[in-house]
A and B are shown apart, each in its own frame.
Chain A
Amino acid sequence: MHIIVCLKQIVYTYARTGFDPDRQFLAPEDEIICVNRHDEAALELALRVKDTIDNTRVTLLTLGPLMAENELRRCLALGADRLCRIDLEGELDPWAKARVMAPFIREMRADLIFCGKESLDRRNGQVGALLARELGLPFVSAVSGLTPSKDGLEMRVERSAGRGTREIIACPLPALFTVEWGSAEPRFPAYPDKIKARSLPIEILTWEGEKPPPRLIQRRVFPPRPRPKNIPAPDSRLSASERIRQLLAGSRMEKKGLMLTGTPESQVEGILSFLRDHDFLGLKTREKDKKENGN
């Protein structure tokens, strides 16, 4: 059996700690480069099939420039046999991605194709379904378990239909399944396999011809408001708009007030001296008045 697992390399934004609205409140350290988590779960299900059926090959397929090489090789070390990358630069919408990947997958003659449910960076969740359409294959989403039939022509597919409902579906092969993170806990790679995976080549597949035209056109992106952070109140001397901007950016503010610590006695002493220094008690004014009256 030949299984293809589609892996997406993503730039995952886990925080928004920047200050600049134009850069969508992103700081350079707010992002990590990794393999889409849902795809990792898909790989785990593929490897479980490999564990049960002899002579199964697992091919990993990724699209676009090489970003997360270490993570891809880690996936390879988990038990996959090949790692292929379709070399195509530039942004692609889900339709174009499916159109690009379909001919390569058809050529590889896979019996099973796995995709993640969606990617953590874009969350379109369409590539799997569109790919099945391009290839003309049956498509099952939210797969959580697989049992091959005796003749190997069919799969009993367990899928989670939401709210704890589970469905068992009989699906003829070849087919395309999408998997959600959490339905299969990925395994842990052994060190010798990691070393082996380090030296395996990444096969490069080149897309010849025109880039397929996009059908989805992104008009505008609204960045999310940064998550509120535990910060002291903004300085009240700033203008309202400035204060709102700082709160939106979740900025770290300098506290301008004077904090008194220590025993109650010393704190009282501190408050009194503060009041005296700034003449909030009106002592100096009174003295001045006295002098003026005296004169």
Chain B
Amino acid sequence: MTTIALKLFRTSKKAGSASLRAGAWLLGGLIVCSLFARLFLPDPNTQNLSNGNLPPFSGGHLFGTDLLGRDVLIWCARGITTSLSIGLAVVLISALVGVLIGAFAGYTGGWADSVLMRLVDLQLAVPPLLIFLAASMVIDRSIGAVIILLASVSWVPYARLVRARVLVERESGYVAAARLAGTRRLGILFGHLVPACATPIIVYASLHIGFVILSESALSFLGLGLEPPTVSLGYLISQGRDQLTSAWWIATFPGVIIVLLVVATNLIGDGLRDRFRLDSGEMS
């Protein structure tokens, strides 16, 4: 009793709002730059071999150009929305699949639950990148394939999150009341149990986007993800890798952009987590 009273005095009212604000500004700024580049600046795929490997601040190229004369700044700016939209798509798909499977497993229990938990183990045991690599041998490279590939290993944490919540919530009073009132199983599941998980799912999803962005850039860096004409930051870093000693800017700038993007989405995620006072252990 007393310790509860003591803790009351420690929490501040607007937990996480500083992170939220910083993250939102950063992300908003990046999106605006990217949209500006998409609408008003020339296609970065345009090659100009006579302008290859120009250093920053030369010939009207703020971030310089790569070996094929492509403008690094425009490429970076456009890459922001590519990364973000892949991140969003993967998060949406895997959240949807994960919630459905997790809710089903948690509510019915029994074999479905056991199968899910073993899948969780499996997902932790085999690094996602290894699956991506193996899958890239047999799947063709398109935005759709990359998204499905990333989503196919990303849904498991959502399912685990929902399952854990459902297991707790289904024993609570209001679920029993709904059951007594004659609400059917599906009605209870989607009318009561899934909404109860909404907050942790949103928080996890906001932290997950950064991870997806990093994964996509890794795949593209290895030449197993996106390739031109799709504008991917990871692809540009892979181009810069070969020129590292002679043209450092090609690999450096797209990496900085990725860091900014991930930091921005993570800030929003951290802010949301603090705002809703979720235990960080639940999120890891």
Chain A complexes with chain B: no
